[in-house]
Amino acid sequence: MGGFFGTVAKATSCVADLFYGTDYNSHLGTKRGGLATYDAETAQFTRSIHNLESTYFRTKFEDELDQFKGNSGIGIISDTDPQPLVLNSHLGRFAIVTVAKIVNLQELETELLAQNMHFAELSSGKTNQTELIALLIIQGKTFVEGIENVYKHIKGSCSMLLLTEDGIIAARDRWGRTPIVIGKKDGAYAATSESSSFPNLGYEIDRYLGPGEIVRMRADGVEQMRKPDEGMQICSFLWVYYGFPTSCYEGKNVEEVRFASGFKMAQTDKSEVDCACGIPDSGVGMALGYAEGKGVPYHRAISKYTPTWPRSFTPSKQELRSLVAKMKLIPNRAMLEGKRLLFCDDSIVRGTQLHDNVKVLYEYGAKEVHIRIACPPLIYSCPFVGFTASKSDMELITRRVIKELEGDENKNLDKYATTGSPEYEKMVDVIRERFGLSSLKFNTLETLVEAIGLPKCKICTHCFDGSSHF
């Protein structure tokens, strides 16, 4: 995954806004961070990239901010390749950052090499997908034609910011799978993945880019270079998990959606419990909604230890994931003992974190442990966006259970994805029993879509029901 931020200002340096605006995307990535600025007075680009795997964005860039000059810049925090890249081409000089997942990367790499192109950014041992996107762009006669060339060739998704010698070009993924939000304040414009970057920097949301829309931001305005497409498939998991609570996509606030999903679920839930609790951070909004909808108190029976475990994302190695899942959440015995507790969480992916948490809750005296999940069971891994660390379907607990029940992890998937079917009920009960839960319920797809408030046809729900739009 990743998140980016770009800004162009009229008369002042963009560096402070760029630094803090990019930092507000830290919950979306943990591997690489980068900044690039353009100084019109000297006609120079300045770029820096750092590894973030053992530290945080701010600590890596704070001491070198003085080297960045100019009133326009872009920044990225990413879980993929080192970015931004700076290129010189027939379109002019530009820096580029992308939030992308290219499923057909090897196929495109082979095609470009056959056209006598070359790849220089091999620091991670494989082709840098942002460089591949840049090479597809420079095949166009204009930036718009080049970006449309990207849309035409890649399978997956790609949203991008291009820092040029004449402002910043923002281009949203053709299906709108990942968002771009434009912000405005006196004398400056900004574009970002997360609108939570804006309030403390003085920006107001100006507009949301549509699917495939391309705009050029200058300090005095935003020029549309390509109109948006009609079809949209924005990732529903943005509201469930990845989005920061104060962020909005398509005018729909993340915390409002989480609250609504919990509230709606509580109104049909017959379980008798003493209180509702959120598993931090992304389960909190749902639990507050559930508590209000059910008419029970909200209690903090688990707290997240933020001084050294602040980030949502966990390491790629399973043994480290297990340790982090345990270390960052601390149960409160005083709030657990003798109680019938209902916990809300965003999702169950592998089940690692849930297994460790539930074991401790019982050890600390919980009388009953009920779990409510904000979304339907994850049945399919995502081929469209780089939001999940799971590399295959078999990393999903649902698929492992399906294989146990059917002897084939791919059998009857449509039945297991249908809420209320005998297969669905059996799968959920196996998961419930495996974790020793008093009860386990997932939100229905209908409830999630209703909570988001967009038409189902505009939202990607592939991971729940297998629906696909390439």
* Residue 248 among known ligand-binding residues: no
Closest CA to 34 of 91, 93, 98: 98
Q: Are the C-beta atoms of residues 354 and 345 closer than 8 Å to each other?
A: yes
* Residue 274 among known ligand-binding residues: no
* Residue 375 among known ligand-binding residues: no
**Which single residue is written with the structure tokens 């499923």?**
103
385-388: long-range contacts, CB 8 A cutoff, minimum separation 24: 385/1, 385/101, 385/156, 385/157, 385/177, 385/178, 385/235, 386/1, 386/2, 386/79, 386/80, 386/99, 386/100, 386/101, 387/1, 387/235, 387/237, 387/242, 388/349
* Residue 463 among known ligand-binding residues: yes
252-257: long-range contacts, CB 8 A cutoff, minimum separation 24: 252/452, 252/453, 252/454, 254/285, 255/285, 257/285, 257/451, 257/452, 257/453
Q: Are the C-beta atoms of residues 375 and 442 closer than 8 Å to each other?
A: yes
Q: Are the C-beta atoms of residues 193 and 178 closer than 8 Å to each other?
A: yes
Q: Which residues contact 328 (CB under 8 A, 6 or more apart)?
A: 304, 305, 309
Determine the distance from the C-alpha atom of residue 339 to the mean position of all C-alpha atoms in its chain, rounded to a whole number: 34
Q: Are the C-beta atoms of residues 129 and 78 closer than 8 Å to each other?
A: no
Q: How many CB atoms lie within 10 A of CB 468?
A: 11
Q: Are the C-beta atoms of residues 366 and 342 closer than 8 Å to each other?
A: no
Specify the length of the chain in residues: 470
Strands (E), 316-375: 329-331, 340-345, 368-373
Say which amino acid occupies 114. Answer: A
DSSP letter, residue 209: P
* Residue 457 among known ligand-binding residues: no
**Which single residue is written with the structure tokens 């909808």?**
293
* Residue 460 among known ligand-binding residues: yes
* Residue 382 among known ligand-binding residues: yes
Q: Which residues contact 445 (CB under 8 A, 6 or more apart)?
A: 376, 419, 461, 464, 465
Q: Which residues are annotated as a binding site for [4Fe-4S] cluster?
A: 235, 382, 460, 463
Q: Which residues are annotated as a binding site?
A: 235, 282, 345-346, 382, 460, 463
Q: Which residues are annotated as a binding site for Mg(2+)?
A: 282, 345-346
